[in-house]
Amino acid sequence: MRIFNELVVRRRVLEINDFATMLLFVFGLVTLSVLGTNCDRNALLYRVDISLPPKEGRDEASDILSIKDTVNGLTNISVLFSFKELGNPRVVLVLDVEKACRWNQLTQYLSSSGYEYSSRTLYHCSDYAKELGVDIPKDMWETSFGDEELMIEQKTFPFNDLSTVDYNLKMRWKFEKDIGILKSGHKAACFRTLAEYPVQLMYFGPIKPSGIEAIEEVVHAPGNFETEITQIQNLDYYTGQCN
């Protein structure tokens, strides 16, 4: 009887392993269909950072303007935002990649030009807030900025031994505070880095005393976050000329 029971257990284990293997196979097929060269997949948002490494005789302004013109001319890739980091030869883009098979237009250009680049997948803060039960209409966020002093504020929210429920409540509270800041007249755009924990949010917006005060209020509130601020300028207004 004992031998029989052991055989039954082993058989069930094998059946479970076979089922798990089948699930992994199916998951692999689905993943390949999404990440492959299927031009009909859903659009994805990306942040792309492009750096110009030091090079003798390099005309930094000319190269940055070339990046600007090239990216704006890509097919099936829309430029939502484009910025130049102040004090550094770095361009920051937020792109809507409408067709995956068009992505190589950008990577081939950057590689052939000798630029260093990195990318991360994003999705809109309104979509993430909605998952938490907070309704922030997308039209409350900015879709463009003028020739003004701008910043990227990158916020990382540590777990601090919180449960998943408490962590989600913390993020919900953050978005509820955002609604008040936006209603007060502060302009901003917001994206979350996809599939990264702890949660990382990126805000793009003008540097204004009222906005800084609102940010400080949130920073010093319970359950604070880590923040990194980078000053930028709108690439649409970049000329590379000294004023």
DSSP at 42:
P
Which is more confident, 47 or 36?
A: 47
Same fold, 44-122 and 125-237: yes
Residue 29 has pLDDT above 50, yes or no: no
Residue 30 has pLDDT above 80, yes or no: no
Q: Does residue 200 contact residue 192 with C-beta atoms inside 8 Å?
A: yes
If you count DSSP H runs as helices and E runs as strands, how many of each does the chain have, helices first?
Answer: 6, 8
Residue 28 has pLDDT above 70, yes or no: no
Q: Does residue 172 contact residue 136 with C-beta atoms inside 8 Å?
A: no
Q: Where are the domains of the chain?
A: 1-35, 44-122, 125-237
* Angstrom distance (rounded) from CA 1 to CA 7: 10
Q: Is domain 125-237 classified as CATH 1.10.3470?
A: no
Q: Which CATH class is domain 44-122?
A: alpha beta
- Of 12, 85, 8, give the one whose Cα is nearest residue 50: 85
Interhelix angle 209-219/164-183, rounded to 10 degrees, is 160
Q: Does residue 102 contact residue 116 with C-beta atoms inside 8 Å?
A: no
Give the tens place of pLDDT for each residue, 174-191: 999 999 999 999 999 999
Q: Among 29-38, 138-147, 155-164, name the one with the lowest average pLDDT.
A: 29-38
Sign of CA dihedral 225, 230, 231, 236: negative
Residue 41 has pLDDT above 80, yes or no: no
Specify the pLDDT at position 54. 87
Give the tens place of pLDDT for each residue, 60-91: 999 999 999 999 999 999 999 999 999 999 99
Specify the pLDDT at position 223. 53
Specify the pLDDT at position 5. 43
Average pLDDT, the chain: 81
Bond preceding residue 198 cis, omega within 30 of 0 = yes
Banded pLDDT at 100 (limits 50, 70, 90): confident
Task: Give the predicted TM-score (pTM) of the model.
Answer: 0.77
Which residues 6+ apart lie within 8 Å of 109 measured at CB?
A: 70
At 107, give phi and psi (nearest 5°): -65, -40
Specify the pLDDT at position 6. 41
Gyration radius of the chain over CA positions: 23
Two tokens, residue 103 = 């992505």
Share of the chain above pLDDT 90, in %: 63
Specify the pLDDT at position 145. 95
Specify the pLDDT at position 239. 87
